Amino acid sequence: MPRVPVMQAVVDILVSEGVDTAFGCPGAAILPLYQALQGSGIEHLIVRHEEGATHMADGWARTTGNVGVAIGTSGPAGTNMITGLYTAQADSIPILCITGQADSRKLHTEAFQAVDIVEIAKPVTKWAVQAKEAAQLPWLFREAFRIARSGRPGPVLIDLPIDVQKQEIEWDSSIDAPFPIAVPTPSPLRVERALDMLLAAEKPLILAGGGVVLGEASGRLRELAELLGIPVQVTLMGKGSFPEDHELFAGMAGIQTSQRWANAAFLEADLVLALGARFGDRHTGELSVYRGEREFIHVDIEPTQLGKVFGPDLGIVSDTGEFLDALLAAARLRTLSRSGAWSGRVGELKAALPRREDFDDTPIKAPRVFKEINDFYGEETYFVTAIGLYQIWSGQFQRAHLPRHYQVCGQAGPLGWEIPAAIGVKKARPDAEVVGVVGDYSFQFLVEELAVAAQYDVGFVLIMLNNEYLGLIRQAERAYDMNTEVDIHYDVSGTDNVKIMEAYGCAGTRVVEPGEIRTSLEWARKEAERTNRPVLVEIMIEREANAAMGPALDSVVEFEPVP
């Protein structure tokens, strides 16, 4: 067997695992890997911050379904990646972080930039490991990809001491291949029980979570819903798994990212089939209200998810696609009949409990922004958004129709996620239209990654909702009868975000009238296509805006400004 540099074996494995793009920042302790990357066919984008690299890998992974790769050197490079690892873990996104490390013989001496990144990363990864011997590395990398993809997907980290990276090993890439991934299939008896419960229910709902997207099961979900005539709701992570213009779409229930009519439909339901959903607290709100008297069937690929929030009436461990295949097969052997009265009732609720979005007010109201977004962009557009009032408004008003086209950091909610994530999405789908919906505060957290997009000709549109406040925190402070430390403007207009764009070689425009939104979006699309660089549409919305939300699904909160 030939002897090769161990980092060459590692790069060969990355290529064979389907990695064509990596995001990172070189440093002395990771240079042998960078040497091996030369001429490999893997495109590398040099980032301005290692957290940005992890979010780029995250966006790439959410779009492709493959494992995204972020690279950093020793010490603070790894600690800077922790937020990205946590974000990927919380949202079940498979990424691989590769860190350099000081010489293994000096780790006990507090050598320069020597930190135990493995122990730091363990709580926010599926697996974190340091290579002790060079001959381990091919197997560690194969196992890392297997773990990242299998079961509930998630992040992994491999730490590479510099002395280990410099060695040679016996290795033949021509006889190597990725490890197989085991896909859990459901118990046939539990599938039959689930079907019995669905057919016995008078007002059943299907709740599509992120597991439907990750399991590539959207088509089968639609087939089942149409076969059984059951309305479908989505969670925030499941948004896009079911077309929102479908007659069986029943909206999104929850206490923040939700519709009033969807909450009302959920409260009338007598059974919920939850597919790949983890019952996050922003979805359930007060559990006594959420559970009520209705029955729950919970299907999840990860056994420990069942019963974590509450015990379901029926739990099923399975890949969502495998479960839907089995349920469809069983359903086709039954005599099926459903009147349509329940789906008609959901339609009545939708018509009776809309939220207004056609405001012509100045300053601009947030719902009007999302009306313009819905009217202007097609269903093939990829959207990314992060955390804050604009995420809540997006969940309430923005429509999505295709899986993997609506991407949101749902659970961890790191500010600054949008710009690097949009870069990752665009690198994964260079011909697609990519749009990031951002807030004025989040925009500034990783704004330096605009330089990466400009350097590598990564063009996309950023739509900023700027209220010059920490809007979500200001709204939350009302419960404490306070209003402090949320004002982030320092003159009449605050940060000139258009000039920031221009400083990075990009472009932008500021919108103050609702009638200007459409023409600005048209300009931004053309400018992004012309320059292959990010373009900002900064929309000045009313400063004292609230998003409707409450502690439970039966809370009635209208959209209105703070008095």
pLDDT in tens, 397-426: 999 999 999 999 988 878 899 999 999 999
- pLDDT at residue 562 in the model: 37
Share of the chain above pLDDT 90, in %: 79
Q: Are residues 168 and 218 in the same domain?
A: no
* Under 8 Å between Cβ of 63 and 428: yes
In a domain, 63, yes or no: yes
Q: Which two tokens stand for residue 415?
A: 């500010």
In a domain, 183, yes or no: no
For 166, other C-beta atoms within 10 Å of its C-beta total 15
Q: Are residues 399 and 281 in the same domain?
A: no
Q: Pick the last residue of a domain from 352, 380, 411.
A: 352
In a domain, 559, yes or no: no
- What band does 329 get if pLDDT is binned at 50, 70 and 90? very high
- pLDDT at residue 335 in the model: 78
Q: Are strands 95-101 and 68-72 parallel, antiparallel or unpaired?
A: parallel
Q: Are residues 460 and 311 in the same domain?
A: no
Q: Which range, of 215-229, 332-346, 512-526, averages the lowest pLDDT?
A: 332-346
In a domain, 28, yes or no: yes
pTM of the model: 0.94
Q: Are residues 347 and 373 in the same domain?
A: no
**CA 267-268-272 angle, 5° bins:** 75
Residue range 429-434: average pLDDT? 97
| CA atoms of 319 and 339, how far apart (whole Å) | 30
Q: Are residues 385 and 513 in the same domain?
A: yes
Q: Are residues 199 and 170 in the same domain?
A: no
- pLDDT at residue 76 in the model: 95
Return the H-helix or E-strand segment holding 314.
strand 314-317
- pLDDT at residue 124 in the model: 97
* Domain interval for residue 266: 188-352
Q: Are residues 140 and 192 in the same domain?
A: no
Q: Are residues 400 and 331 in the same domain?
A: no
Q: Are residues 122 and 210 in the same domain?
A: no
Q: Are residues 40 and 139 in the same domain?
A: yes
Count of domains in the chain? 3
* Under 8 Å between Cβ of 51 and 78: no
Residue range 505-511: average pLDDT? 97
DSSP assignment of 440-455, as one string? TTGGGTSGGGHHHHHH
- pLDDT at residue 560 in the model: 43
The Cα-based distances of 275 to 123, 209, 214, 316 in angstroms read 26, 6, 11, 10
Question: Which CATH number fits the domain that encloses residue 123?
Answer: 3.40.50.970
Question: Which CATH number fits the domain that encloses residue 226?
Answer: 3.40.50.1220
| CA atoms of 148 and 118, how far apart (whole Å) | 16
Return the H-helix or E-strand segment holding 5.
strand 3-5
Residues in Cβ contact with 345 at an 8 Å cutoff, skipping those fewer than 6 apart: 203, 265, 268
Q: Pick the last residue of a domain from 132, 150, 175.
A: 175
pLDDT in tens, 200-223: 999 999 999 999 999 999 999 999
- pLDDT at residue 534 in the model: 98
| CA atoms of 181 and 410, how far apart (whole Å) | 26
In a domain, 557, yes or no: no
| CA atoms of 538 and 330, how far apart (whole Å) | 52
Q: Are residues 398 and 527 in the same domain?
A: yes
Q: Is the pLDDT of residue 561 over 60?
A: no
In a domain, 524, yes or no: yes
**CA 80-81-82 angle, 5° bins:** 95
**CB-based burial of residue 216 (10 Å sphere; 0-12 exposed, 13-18 middle, 19+ buried)?**
middle
pLDDT in tens, 221-240: 999 999 999 999 999 999 99
In a domain, 547, yes or no: no
| CA atoms of 546 and 392, how far apart (whole Å) | 10
The per-residue pLDDT of the chain, averaged, comes to: 92
Q: Pick the last residue of a domain from 175, 200, 216.
A: 175
- What band does 492 get if pLDDT is binned at 50, 70 and 90? low
SS3 at position 358: coil
In a domain, 562, yes or no: no
Q: Are residues 316 and 391 in the same domain?
A: no
The per-residue b/e assignment along 538-555, b for 16 or more CB within 10 angstroms, e otherwise, is bbbbbbebbbbbbeebee
Q: Which range, of 37-41, 75-79, 147-151, 384-388, averages the lowest pLDDT?
A: 384-388
